[in-house]
C-alpha cells in the first residue's frame, strides 16, 4: 500500500461518522500486530516515542531525526495508517516545515502540530502555551510544507486545561481558518466542554484522553470525534513483560520456566517467517 493510499484511508476515517480507538504503536512489531488484529489506524504518541527510542519520559528530549527514523521503520513493516504526534514541530515555524517534510517522507499518514510551549521554560513548572499568532504561524508553515496534499495535518491545542475552553475554541477556529484537515484537543474534561467545542468548529475532531464521563462512543461520534486516544498501554505492557522476564532469568529461572512468552507460531506470524522463506526459495534457491 503506497503512502498516499494510507493517507486516503485516514482521510476516510476523518470523513466518516464513527469514533475509533486507535492502536498505540511505537515500533515495527507493535504496528504490525495492530494491523493484523484489525485496527483501522495507529497513533504514534510522543511519550511512546520517547520511551521506545530513548528510554526517557515525555519531556521533549527526542529529536525530529529520531522520531522520523522510527516512523520510517514502522512504515516499512506494515501498511496501517499512522497519525504521528509531532509535538511542537521541534522548534519554530521554520522547523515545523522540516518536521512535516521528514515525516511525510517517512510514511506518516498524518501528524499533529500543537501549541504547547516546548521544551519547558526555565523556572516555570506549569505547562504554558505559545502565543496565538505563533500557533497560527506554525500551522501555516505545516500546510505550506506539504509535498503530498493527501498528508493529513491536524492542528492541536492544549488550551482547554492550560488557559480555558474559550481559548481552545479561539485557537482551533484560527487553525481551521488556515486550512487544517482536523483539530485535536487535549484536556477536555466534560461533555459540556466537548459540546461547546464541537458547536464552535466544523472539522473532524481527534480527542486526547476522554474522561470517564465522555467515554460513550456514540456521544463522541455525534460530536464529530473521529479518533479518541486512550493513552499508550501497549508500551507499558511490553515494559512490564520485559521486566518480569529478565527478573526471572536473573533469579535463575530456566528457559522452560519462563511465563508469558510469545509462542513460536506467534513469532513466526509477526516476523512473516513463511513469506521470508518463500522469498529465499525464489531468489536464493533455498528449499522452503
| Nine cell digits for residue 103 | 515525516
Query: Residue 8 domain-assigned?
Result: yes
249 within domain boundaries: no
Within a domain: 254: no
Asked whether residue 112 is assigned to any structural domain, the reply reads yes
- Answer whether residue 270 is part of any domain: yes
- Between the alpha carbon of residue 165 and those of residues 19, 46, 72, 171, 214, the distances in Å are 22, 23, 36, 10, 16
Are 129 and 270 in the same domain? no
- Which DSSP category does 52 fall into? H
| Pick from 264, 266, 285, 288: nearest CA to 276 | 288
Looking up residue 162, the CATH number of its domain turns out to be: 3.20.20.60
Asked if residues 20 and 38 have their Cβ atoms less than 8 Å apart, the reply is no
Residues 52, 71 contacting (CB under 8 angstroms): no
H or E element at residue 44: strand 42-44
Those residues with Cβ within 8 angstroms of residue 214's Cβ, 6 or more apart along the chain or in another chain: 188, 190, 191, 194, 207, 220
Q: Are residues 286 and 166 in the same domain?
A: no
Q: Is residue 23, in this structure, part of any structural domain at all?
A: yes
Residue-range definition of the domain harbouring residue 285: 260-288
By the 8 A CB rule, do 31 and 80 touch? yes
Q: Are residues 194 and 269 in the same domain?
A: no
Q: Is 105 helix (H, G, I), strand (E, B) or coil?
A: helix
User: pLDDT tens digits for the chain (288 residues)?
Assistant: 799 999 999 999 999 999 999 999 999 999 999 999 999 999 999 999 999 999 999 999 999 999 999 999 999 999 999 999 999 999 999 999 999 999 999 999 999 999 999 998 999 989 999 999 999 999 999 999 999 999 999 999 999 999 999 999 999 999 999 999 999 999 999 999 999 999 999 999 999 989 999 989 999 999 999 999 998 999 999 999 999 999 999 999 999 999 999 999 999 999 999 999 999 889 988 876
Total count of domains within the chain: 2
- Does residue 191 lie within any of the structural domains? yes
Residues 32, 132, single domain; the answer is yes
Domain co-membership, 283 together with 227: no
Q: Helix/strand/coil (H, E, C) string of 60-104?
A: CCCCHHHHHHHHHHHHHHCCCCEEEECCCCCCCHHHHHHHHHHHH
Specify if 246 maps to a domain: no
Residues 72 and 107 grouped into a single domain: yes
What sign for the dihedral angle of Cα 268, 271, 272, 278? Answer: negative
Q: CA-CA distances (angstroms) from residue 26 to 22, 151, 196?
A: 12, 20, 33
| C-alpha dist (Å) from residue 141 to 97, 134, 171 | 6, 10, 16
> Do 207 and 266 sit in the same domain of this protein?
no
Q: Which pTM does this prediction carry? A: 0.96
Same-domain check for residues 273 and 135: no
Q: Return the DSSP state at 116.
A: B
Amino acid at each position: 500500500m503506497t503512502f498516499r493510499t494510507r493517507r486516503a484511508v485516514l482521510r476516510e476515517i476523518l470523513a466518516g461518522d464513527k469514533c475509533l480507538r486507535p492502536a498505540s504503536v511505537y515500533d515495527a512489531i507493535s504496528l504490525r500486530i495492530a494491523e493484523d488484529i484489525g485496527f483501522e489506524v495507529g497513533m504514534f504518541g510522543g511519550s511512546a516515542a520517547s520511551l521506545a527510542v530513548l528510554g526517557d519520559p515525555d519531556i521533549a528530549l527526542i529529536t525530529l531525526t529520531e522520531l522520523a527514523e522510527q516512523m520510517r521503520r514502522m512504515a516499512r513493516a506494515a501498511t496501517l495508517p499512522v497519525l504521528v504526534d509531532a509535538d511542537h514541530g521541534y522548534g519554530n515555524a521554520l522547523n515545523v516545515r522540516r518536521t512535516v517534510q521528514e515525516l511525510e517522507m517517512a510514511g506518516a499518514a498524518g501528524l499533529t502540530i500543537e501549541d504547547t510551549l516546548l521544551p519547558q521554560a526555565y523556572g516555570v513548572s506549569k505547562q504554558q502555551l505559545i502565543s496565538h499568532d505563533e500557533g497560527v504561524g506554525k500551522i501555516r508553515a505545516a500546510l505550506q510544507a506539504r509535498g503530498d496534499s493527501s498528508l493529513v495535518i491536524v492542528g492541536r491545542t492544549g488550551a482547554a486545561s492550560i488557559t480555558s475552553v474559550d481559548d481552545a475554541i479561539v485557537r482551533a477556529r484560527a487553525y481551521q481558518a488556515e486550512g487544517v484537515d482536523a483539530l485535536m484537543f487535549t484536556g477536555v474534561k466534560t461533555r459540556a466542554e466537548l459540546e461547546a467545542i464541537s458547536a464552535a468548529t466544523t472539522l473532524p475532531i481527534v480527542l486526547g484522553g476522554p474522561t470517564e464521563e465522555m467515554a460513550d462512543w456514540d456521544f463522541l461520534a455525534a460530536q464529530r470525534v473521529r479518533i479518541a486516544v486512550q493513552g499508550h498501554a501497549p508500551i507499558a505492557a511490553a515494559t512490564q513483560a520485559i521486566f518480569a522476564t529478565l527478573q526471572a532469568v536473573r533469579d535463575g529461572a530456566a528457559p522452560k520456566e519462563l511465563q508469558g512468552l510469545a509462542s513460536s507460531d506467534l513469532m513466526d506470524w509477526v516476523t512473516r517467517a513463511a513469506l521470508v522463506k518463500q522469498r529465499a526459495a525464489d531468489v536464493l534457491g533455498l528449499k522452503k
